Amino acid sequence: MLHFNRCPHLKQIAQKCFPSIHVRTDKHVQLFLSRTLALAEFRKSWHSTHSLVGDKNIILMGPPGAGKTTVGRIIGQKLGCCVIDVDDDILEKTWNMSVSEKLQDVGNEQFLEEEGKAVLNFSTSGSVISLTGSNPMHDASMWHLKKNGIIVYLDVPLIDIVSRLKLMKIDRIVGQDAGTSMKDLLKFRRQYYKKWYDTRVFCESGASPEEVADKVLSAVKRYQDVDSETFVSTRHIWPKDERKVSTKFFSEAVIEGLASDGGLFVPEKEFPKLNCREWKSLVGATYIERAQILLEKCIHPADVPAARLGEMIETAYGENFACSRIAPVRHLSGNQFILELFHGPTGSFKDLSLQLMPHLFAHCIPPSCNYMILVATSGDTGSAVLNGFSRINKNDKQRIAVATFFPENGVSDFQKAQIIGSQKENGWAVGVKSDFDFCQTAVKGIFRDSDFAGFLIMEYGTVLSSANSINWGRLLPQVVYHASAYLDLVSQGFISFGSPVDVCIPTGNFGNILAAVYAKMMGIPIRKFICASNQNHVLTDFIKTGHYDLRERKLAQTFSPAIDILKASNLERHLHLMADKNGKLMTKLFNQLEEQHHFQIEKMLVEKLQQDFVADWCSEGECLAAIHSTYSTSGYILDPHTAVAKVVADRMQDKTCPVIVSSTAHYSKFAPAIMQALKIKEINHTSSSQLYLLSSYNALPPPHEALLERTKQQEKMEYQVCAADVNVMKNHVEKLIQNQFV
């Protein structure tokens, strides 16, 4: 029996693409996931090559003093179109009195209503409209304007607005009552600006009106050009006729996870870059504000509207993080700083992306179809994925489910309990009797099995996808915390903007360190990327020699299980970047890795890699010694992964500039190793007593409350265990789909 009642359009596509069960699904998946139909009307509506405006309006929105009127006039002159200032051309002509007189006459509440009515009675096309600062507070009039215009938010730093209003001798604006400061009211109004904008122009301190006008025109052009930001597979071979390139949009890359040819999705064009003044204007911003600015530049509004993206970011980095700064930087000693990435609900750096990625995924998928997310985890990813997807809304939970595969005996006892305990109504944990590399290879193999994917779509109306860092939607948010860490060092006065830093990152799958590379591409001055390995030091060896060799190499279980990895998936993305997007070379190298278990890159690429990267590894004894010595000298407890990074940073960093060490997990997750390092006796306590014993030490960082709560969970949850066999794993996937969606 076929189950297409939830996705009737799947049936039509499947009938065309799957005449029998044993057909390849590539064409179907491309059709099914394409946003072409969804954007057809959008393209038709906005496309205008002759004029940037066409029959639509460019609507400038922002607080008083943002420069809307001045910028509007410059844009009108450049485009040769009509310019309308709402204050001068609509309100004052309608009321036959000045705006200030009207406000004084009727008061705040009545003013907003009458202002809104005046705008509702107004209509134009092909014009530049400069709104008042209070227009966005009237819903009906904004909907009226939005129907026929692109709303551009001039986002000016608050300190600049206050200064400008003082110079203009404006001491009261609409909505300001006695006792309310100008600064507080402007902060309050931001929620309305964020609600309505289609695209944002970040007006950094010192930007001239002409520069802002050019930015507006660029933003509008980008907004209109819905096909401009696309993704290709790392294994894509460029045809002679570049117009025939098979590309994906952001939404498609997020939904599909892995490219059909086995490669990973990467942007076709370069990363967007912020100028020095733009970065400086973000120094005083919150983590959420930084994330909104940076991710808006990387995600086209046709995929995720800017206002909706902002809502997702605010939800992702809210009360679920124990620290309001989300990813704070702490000075450890000398020139070393710790980037604390463990304040999320599951206590690891994975939360920084996996609290956001599920919302992106739910937004991008078609509204009436089912998705099964398959995840391979070396420890931290599993609980972070399950937690993240448990926070999507109720309707989305009914169509998105998660299966997490973890090495049954390859994670810490606490990590295992955390993964199993994170199972919810739409997420399950499956232990595999093998190591992480097998789990990851098996999951990739399932994705590449187009017959199996086609069967699941036909039989259950369910599509497979991924939430590992092979998924672009998972990797991209990690760029933010590397940029934010640098800005925090500037904010705290340790460096001035433009001074270089090194970053040292415990590395297994290469995603975290690759995100730092992308932060550098956006304009953060990172000098060296220090790759820190444990005893599974295949990456260190590769960076030193250019030879990626898995022959005769067995995975060792260490105190730092999240980097107990031999096949670093995201390395392919970086090699693709270094090799000038040579998909043919990537196909050759990674096919050779699968078949012969090694590959060698040419000398020129090795030299290019070593310009930015250095690497070394840390033994188990050195890891424990680093935990002990750091606690003894500073009262700070490192988790084993961070200890690996500190050992390597001490050895490799030349002390001529600051080094930011990524602390990827809270030490509570590895209590037995910490107790061994600190020489605490009676290690054979329960996880709960171990955590409470460590918390009694009053060390830094403070205990992780969410992890302590996890240990109180009395009920032992059931979970499934399977053999190290891809076919057995497929059977588990099918049964989970049957239970969830049928």
Helix (H, G, I), strand (E, B) or coil at 627: helix
Q: Is 158 within 8 Å of 136 (Cβ atoms)?
A: no
- Among 3.30.930.10, 3.30.70.260, 3.40.50.1100, 3.40.50.720, name the CATH number for the domain at 276-345+478-705: 3.40.50.1100
Per-residue DSSP letters for 389-417?
A: HTTS-HHHHTTEEEEEEEETTSS-HHHHH
* Domain spans, the chain: 57-224, 276-345+478-705, 350-472+718-741
Sequence-ordered strand ranges (E) for 40-143: 57-61, 83-85, 128-130
Q: Can you read off the two tokens belonging to residue 243?
A: 């117009």
In a 10 Å sphere around its CB, with 0-12 CB exposed, 13-18 middle and 19+ buried, how is residue 498 labelled? exposed
Residues making up the chain, counted from first to last = 742
The CA distance from 320 to 342, in Å, is 12
193-223 exposure pattern, b = at least 16 Cβ within 10 A, e = fewer: bbebbbbbbbbbeebebebbbbbbbebbebb
Can you tell me whether residue 244 is helix, strand or coil? helix
How far apart (Å, rounded) are the C-alpha atoms in residues 85 and 129? 6
Reduced to 3 states (helix: H, G, I; strand: E, B; else coil), residue 620 is: helix
The span from the CA of 610 to the CA of 543, in Å, is 7
Instruction: Yes or no: say if 189 and 63 are a contact pair by the CB < 8 Å rule.
Output: yes
The residue among 232, 440, 478 whose CA lies nearest residue 356 is 478
Structure-derived torsion over alpha carbons of residues 558, 560, 566, 569, reported in degrees to the nearest 10: 170
User: What is the C-alpha to C-alpha distance for residues 438 and 406, in angstroms, rounded to an integer?
Assistant: 10
192, two tokens: 């309305």
Report the 3 state secondary structure along 104-124: HHHCHHHHHHHHHHHHHCCCC
pLDDT tens profile 596-624? 999 999 999 999 999 999 999 999 999 99
pLDDT score for 52: 59
Q: Residue 266 CB: number of other CB atoms within 10 A?
A: 20
Q: Looking up tokens 């915390």, which residue turns up?
A: 481
Low-confidence ranges of the chain (pLDDT < 70): 1-53, 171-172, 178, 240-245, 682-684, 713-715
d(CA 502, CA 525): 9
Give the pair of three-digit tokens for residue 407: 């090495």
Measuring CA to CA, which residue among 614, 617, 647 is closest to residue 502?
A: 614
Predicted local confidence at residue 244, as pLDDT: 52
| Phi-psi map region of 364: left, alpha, beta (phi>0 left; psi -120 to 50 alpha) | alpha
Whether the CB-CB separation of 569 and 419 falls below 8 Å is answered with no
Distance from C-alpha of 140 to C-alpha of 603, rounded to nearest angstrom: 63
C-alpha 381/C-alpha 570 separation (Å) is: 15
pLDDT score recorded for residue 442: 94
Establish whether domains 57-224 and 350-472+718-741 are of one fold. Answer: yes
Q: Which one, of 291, 388, 402, lies nearest residue 345 by Cα?
A: 388
What is the pLDDT at residue 487? 98
CATH class in words for 350-472+718-741: alpha beta
CATH classification code of 57-224:
3.40.50.300
How much is the pLDDT for 245? 62
Ramachandran sector of residue 379 (left: φ over 0; alpha: ψ -120 to 50; beta: rest): left
Query: What distance in Å separates the CA atoms of residue 427 and residue 436, rounded to the nearest whole number?
Result: 19
Amino acid at position 563, single letter: I
The CA angle 301-307-309, to the nearest 5 degrees, is: 70
Q: Which pair of tokens denotes residue 159?
A: 């300190």
Q: By three-state DSSP, how is residue 308 classified?
A: helix
Q: What whole-number distance in Å separates Cα of residue 56 and Cα of residue 58?
A: 7
Cis peptide before 209 (omega within 30 of 0): no
